[in-house]
Structures are given as C-alpha cells and as structure tokens.
C-alpha cells in the first residue's frame, strides 16, 4: 500500500464528514509515503478553507493519535502544511468554481480520486439532492477524465451506499453489481431539475413511492451510480458501497465517533430516554460496519482499481459539461459493467440482528445511565408503534400546546410546550428515517470484498484490515455508546449527574443528538 501511494496526489471530497475525516487520518497515520492530499473544501461566509479545516477537521480528537505519533501539535501542524492542499471549491458549481489555471493544475497533479461528498439528509429536497449527489459525481468524473488526458490519473473511486438497492425486495441477496432501473436516470434527473419547488414538494414523494425508494438519499445515489458507470466505463473506476457506518472498532481508538448520525442517533436517543419504541423487527439482520473497516477497505479499493483494467476500454463519447447530463449510450434496461465493492456484514459469517443490538444497547445504558429515565427500546409492528406514539408522544405534546395557548399561561409553560413539540417532531423524523432499515433486511454479498482482502500482503492485511469476523458486537455497541457520550455530548462519563427529565427537550441535547 505504501508503495502504491508513494508520491501520489490524492484528491478527496467530503473531508469534513465523519468518513472523510477518518480517511485523511488513516492516510496521515499509515501512508507516510503519500505525496499530497488535495481536499475540496466549500468556503463558508467569513471563513477561509484553512480556518474551516482547522475548526472542523484538524482540531478533532480523532487526530490525537496522529498528533502524538508525529511529536505533538507543532509537528502535526507542520505535517498538515506539508501534505495537505486545501482546494476552495463547491460541488454544485461547474469545475467546482475554480478558474482555468487552478482546475488544470489540480487535474495535472491528481493521481487518485476518492469521491465521498454527498448530502446525507434523507429528507433533502429532491432537486437539491440531485444537484449534489448526481451532478456532483458528474463533476468529479469530469475532473478524472481531464486528469487522465494529462497523464495523471491512476484510479477513481465513487463512494455510494449498499442501500442504493433498497428498492429491491426485502430479504433479497444483492450482488456487487448495478441493477437495471425502470426509468432512464438521465431523463429522471432532467425532469426533477426542471420542476419548480412546489412541484418538487408535490411530486417528489410520489416518485420515491412509485420506484420503491425510502428516501431521496438512496434514490439519488442510485442514479449517481448508474450515470457514473456510463461516464467512467473507460476509466480505472470503481464503486464502493458501505452499509450503515458506525463508530470505530479499534482505530484511531475504540468507540470513536464525532456525530450522532444514522444508528448513532437512535443509540443516543435510547440512552437519553426519549426514544422507547421503534418500528422494527428484532429478527431482521442489521448491516452495521465500523468506520475504520470502511476506511481501510476504501483505501485498498483505490489502490487495487489502479491495477485493474477498465470495464470498457473503448473511448467515451459522452458529453461532460455539467449541469448538462451525459447522454445514455446503453439500451434501456441494461447497465454498465463496473467493479463494485460492498463493505458490510449482513451476508457474512458474523451477521447480527437488531434484537442482539437492542439487548446490548439497553444493558449498557442502564449500567451507565445518562438520564434519569430508564433506557428501553421496543421494536414494534407498524400499527402498535403508531398507537404507542400517538398515546405517549403526540397527544401529550398537543395537550401541552393547548395549555400553553390559554390566556395567562406562563412563559415557562409556553417554552416547555415549544420544546416538547420540537422534540416530538424530531423523534418522528428519526423514526421515519430509520424504520426501513430496522424493519426490512437485505443481504449484501461481499465476494469482491473477500477477494480484495485476500490479495493483500500479510503486513497490509493487518494494517488495513476489515475482516468482519473480528467484530465483537457487544463490545462494539458498548464502545459506541461510550463514544457518543464522550465525543458527541462531550461529557466525561461518570463525572456528571444523570440528565433530569426536564432537560431532555433542551436545545443543547437536541443539537447534540439530532
């Protein structure tokens, strides 16, 4: 691995996200021979790229191991200055908003591209999700093609998700391949981008329901894969699909996480006592994967792709000028053939179901409480959940709002009513977001993943390991919960009293959890 990455320029998108941070951390810690990391950073008002990277990435406790390894904060800062080149750009702009000279210089120096940027808001407005998840991918692959023209490109990896195929029947064993869509993704994207905001709000949910996708994230990531495969069929290109990403198993240290997203939001809500019922099936397999396994396999995928022949070496004639979409070159109902790698656990020898996760979760929180409310979570059929949510959440919140609206209601009552209403709304959104993944199960096959791991030399297999048999699920859940308290709530465990019930709806905990 160090031989492959030696002296190479690596272009990374999405580095301010959970996985992106850990990719940078792993490269700095385990691939010292790498040349430069070109990291795309969207400028924010009043903050230049260097400041944003410092506040959102380098100051993270996730880099403490690297900081110590290189000799402390000063040496770490010197390493960053030597290895990392911030690229101020925006995924939704043509050529990321760079001028001609900057874009050409970037393309000429990029050997490996790892595209991780995406909007992961499952309820993102459909046109916004298309603009970033689909057109953003087109822009990255346009850069890849330019880099190849300049003789620089070795490999490009598009990070997707196993759940792009959540429109397939529950219980299906899904291969590492593209499945045909019942619509042309290019025409669908054009149709969505031509809609007004009102039309998006009206027809967006209908489109998702019609084609069987649970949210805008999986829908747009699926289209990004299909179009990306057509654009990059003659490039050293691969699609990398992780499952539900959670806290680190061991690197940079057990339990590391910096946000309560995906299953982390559910885990934390259970610990805080604000989520006690969820639509789900305890016997359904859950496809959880530690972030360090994802990072290890992703970096190996990028290296392996450089040595693999393109799916179709014939030159592409596709138009690549975003926001214009590439013209389809394949007959309807067929898909491009590109290497795809699943990174998950559902179809392997160490699969786990939601029932086992639930037991470990509840036992940990009750042994290490962070709230006075006892932790409990019931996985219920839809009708029982809806009845329980109505009686325990919706009706009490509505009653409190009515009391707060009466003449003479105190400011404290009105404030409590607003906070409770907001909390109930957030809980409903969390449940609706996650229910498809807890209620239904798919089995994501990992034959390519196993071959990839077996191809490594013994030293690299240890340094970049993602063998799911190494995961002890109970210990992983316990470390995850610890990490949520220590690194997300930023509370030393055992050094504070349990959270009082009236605090649970406070802005502070809403921000941390949701």
Q: What is the DSSP string of 394-443?
A: IHHHHHHHHHHHSTT--HHHHHHHHHHHHHHHHHHHHHHHHHHHHH---E
Structure confidence at residue 321 (pLDDT): 41
Stretch among 163-177, 323-337, 451-465 having the lowest mean pLDDT: 323-337
Q: Taking 70 as the threshold, does the pLDDT of residue 314 lie above it? A: no
Whether 34 has a pLDDT exceeding 70, the answer reads yes
Residue 418 lies in a domain: no
Are the C-beta atoms of residues 62 and 13 closer than 8 Å to each other? Answer: no
Q: What residue has token string 């396994």?
A: 293
- Token duo for residue 456: 């490594």
Closest residue by Cα to residue 138 from 97, 91, 191? 91
Q: How far apart are CA 61 and CA 252, in angstroms?
A: 9
Cα distances (angstroms) measured from residue 499 to each of 105, 265, 328, 425, 426:
53, 17, 56, 21, 19
Residue 308 pLDDT class (50, 70, 90 cuts)? confident
Q: What is the pLDDT of residue 134?
A: 96
Query: Using CA atoms, how far apart are residues 276 and 379, in angstroms rounded to an integer?
Result: 9
Residue 47 scores a pLDDT above 90: no
Q: What is the mean pLDDT of residues 88-94?
A: 93
Model confidence at 393, pLDDT cuts 50, 70, 90, reads: confident
Give the tens place of pLDDT for each residue, 403-424.
888 888 888 888 888 888 888 8
The whole domain housing 7 covers 2-248+287-349+442-471
Question: Which tokens hold the place of 482?
Answer: 């610890």
Across 456-473, average pLDDT: 95
Whether residue 206 is contained in a domain is answered as yes
Which pLDDT belongs to residue 101?
96
What's the pLDDT score for residue 350? 94
Cα 399 from Cα 403, distance rounded (Å): 6
Residues in the chain: 514
- 390: in domain: no
Residue 332 to residue 315: CA distance in whole angstroms: 21
C-beta separation of 245 from 152 below 8 A:
no
Q: Note whether residue 42 is domain-resident.
A: yes
Q: What is the CATH number of the domain that holds 343?
A: 3.40.50.720
Contact yes or no for 326/230 (Cβ under 8 A): yes
Give the contacts of 165 (CB within 8 A, at least 6 positions apart). Answer: 172, 174, 179, 222, 442
d(CA 412, CA 466): 51
Whole-angstrom Cα distance, residue 240 to residue 342?
6
Is residue 15 one of the residues assigned to a domain? Answer: yes
Q: Average of pLDDT values for 474-490?
A: 94
* Each residue's pLDDT tens digit, 322-381: 445 544 444 444 556 799 999 999 998 899 999 999 999 999 999 999 888 888 888 888
CB-CB contact of 376 with 213 (8 Å) = no
Inside any domain, residue 253:
no
Contacts of 346 (CB under 8 A, 6+ apart): 243, 285, 286, 287, 441, 442, 443, 444
Lowest mean pLDDT among 79-83, 293-297, 423-427: 423-427
Question: Would you state the pLDDT for residue 270?
Answer: 92
Query: Based on the structure, what is the number of domains in the chain?
Result: 1
In a domain, 7, yes or no: yes
pLDDT score of 334: 52
* Rounded CA separation 424/429 (Å): 9
The verdict on residue 375 lying in a domain is no
Q: Count other C-beta atoms under 10 Å from residue 195's C-beta.
A: 16
Average pLDDT on 231-253 reads 95
């Amino acid at each position: 691995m160090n031989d492959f990455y030696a002296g190479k320029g690596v272009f990374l998108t999405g580095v301010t996200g959970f996985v992106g941070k850990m990719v940078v951390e792993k490269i700095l810690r385990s691939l010292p021979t790498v040349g430069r990391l070109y990291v795309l950073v969207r400028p924010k008002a009043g903050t230049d790229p260097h400041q944003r990277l410092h506040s959102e990435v380098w100051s993270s406790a996730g880099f403490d191991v690297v900081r110590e390894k290189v000799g402390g904060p000063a040496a770490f800062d010197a390493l960053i200055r030597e290895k990392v080149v911030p690229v101020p750009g925006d995924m939704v702009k043509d050529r990321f908003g760079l001028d001609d000279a900057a874009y050409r210089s970037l393309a000429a120096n990029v050997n490996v591209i790892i595209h991780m940027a995406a909007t992961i808001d499952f309820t993102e407005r459909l046109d916004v999700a298309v603009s970033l998840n689909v057109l953003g991918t087109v822009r990255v692959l346009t850069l890849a093609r330019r880099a190849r023209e300049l003789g620089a490109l070795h490999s490009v990896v598009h990070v997707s998700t196993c759940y792009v195929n959540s429109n397939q029947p529950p219980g299906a064993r899904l291969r590492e391949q593209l499945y045909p869509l019942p619509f042309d993704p290019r025409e669908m994207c054009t149709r969505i981008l031509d809609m007004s905001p009102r039309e998006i709000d009206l027809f967006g949910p209908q489109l998702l329901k019609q084609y069987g996708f649970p949210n805008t994230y999986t829908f747009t990531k699926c289209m990004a894969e299909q179009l990306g495969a057509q654009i990059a069929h003659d490039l050293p290109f691969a699609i990398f699909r992780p499952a539900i990403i959670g806290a680190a198993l061991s690197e940079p240290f057990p339990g590391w996480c910096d946000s309560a997203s995906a299953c982390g939001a559910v885990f934390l809500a259970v610990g805080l006592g604000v989520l006690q019922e969820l639509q789900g099936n305890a016997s359904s397999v859950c496809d959880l994967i530690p972030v360090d396994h994802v990072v290890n396999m992703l970096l190996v995928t990028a290296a392996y792709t450089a040595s693999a022949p393109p799916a179709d070496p014939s030159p592409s004639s596709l138009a690549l000028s975003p926001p214009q979409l590439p013209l389809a070159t394949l007959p309807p109902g067929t898909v491009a053939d590109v290497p795809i790698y699943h990174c998950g656990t559902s179809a392997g020898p160490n699969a786990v179901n939601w029932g086992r996760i639930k037991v470990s979760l509840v036992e940990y929180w009750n042994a290490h409480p962070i709230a006075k409310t006892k932790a409990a979570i019931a996985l219920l059929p839809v009708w029982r959940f809806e009845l329980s949510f109505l009686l325990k959440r919706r009706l009490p919140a509505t009653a409190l709002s009515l009391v707060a609206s009466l003449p003479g209601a105190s400011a404290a009552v009105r404030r409590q009513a607003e906070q409770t209403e907001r909390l109930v709304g957030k809980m409903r959104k969390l449940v609706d977001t996650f229910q498809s993944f807890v209620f239904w199960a798919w089995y994501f096959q990992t034959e390519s993943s196993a071959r990839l791991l077996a191809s490594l030399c013994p030293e690299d297999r240890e340094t970049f390991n993602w063998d799911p048999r190494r995961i002890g699920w109970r210990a992983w859940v316990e470390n995850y919960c610890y990490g949520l308290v220590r690194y997300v709530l930023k509370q030393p465990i055992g050094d504070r009293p349990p959270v009082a019930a009236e605090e649970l709806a406070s802005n502070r905990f809403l921000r941390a959890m949701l």
